[in-house]
Amino acid sequence: MRWIGIDYGAKTAGTTCVAWEENNELHVVVSEKGEDTDAWLEAIIKIYKPDFICIDAPLSLPGGFYNKSDNFFYRKCDQELQAMSPMFLGGLTARAMRLAYIWKLNGISVYEVYPKGLVYKAYEDLIFCYKMKDQIPEFLFRLKKKLKINIPDNIHTWHQVDAILAWISGWRISKGKSIIFGQLEEGTIHV
């Protein structure tokens, strides 16, 4: 089974990262500043042909838009994980939903993941150094020991780390170990 983890960012910011495993080694690539991230991702998916994708981006709107609740700002999964509102993320949410729609039409399952939620709900002992300035080496050292995975040495940004964490959420999904937050009829996040 093959999957990728995506830390999804602004369309041309050059911060979107993709992680995947090949020959027991994790690989991470970063989009180029100024390039169309969505086209770049579509090309990667066509080449890599994953069975499923784990993306750190909202893939649904709050239940108020579906007459499922009176909340138009947060989904239940956002509230449970203290995640940002899909409405605050606006265009990024719309772009992610469009990509997920295209990938699903092509037979690829897509899961919404939340790297911060993974750290806070499954790897609490790593919270102290998560997203802390200059703590990427310490965080990765501890993550490698915990999971016994080969992580490349050229990881320099938290966007790259979050892509790895998105991939780890995919590993947890593949093993039936993920924790699911939210409601199916509104949207879920896997960590």
Determine the pLDDT at residue 148: 81
> Residue 10 belongs to a domain with what CATH number?
3.30.420
- Average of pLDDT values for 93-113? 98
- Average of pLDDT values for 34-49? 97
Domain span including residue 28: 3-190
Determine the pLDDT at residue 11: 96
Q: Is the pTM of this model over 0.95?
A: yes
Q: Tell me, rounded to whole angstroms, the distance of Cα 54 from its chain centroid.
A: 5
Q: Is the dihedral of CA 84, 158, 187, 119 positive or negative?
A: negative
Cα dist from 92 to 38, 57, 96, 167, 169, whole Å: 10, 7, 6, 20, 21
Count of domains observed in the chain: 1
Q: What is the pLDDT of residues 134-184, one digit of tens each?
A: 999 999 999 999 888 899 989 999 999 999 999 999 999 999 999 999 999
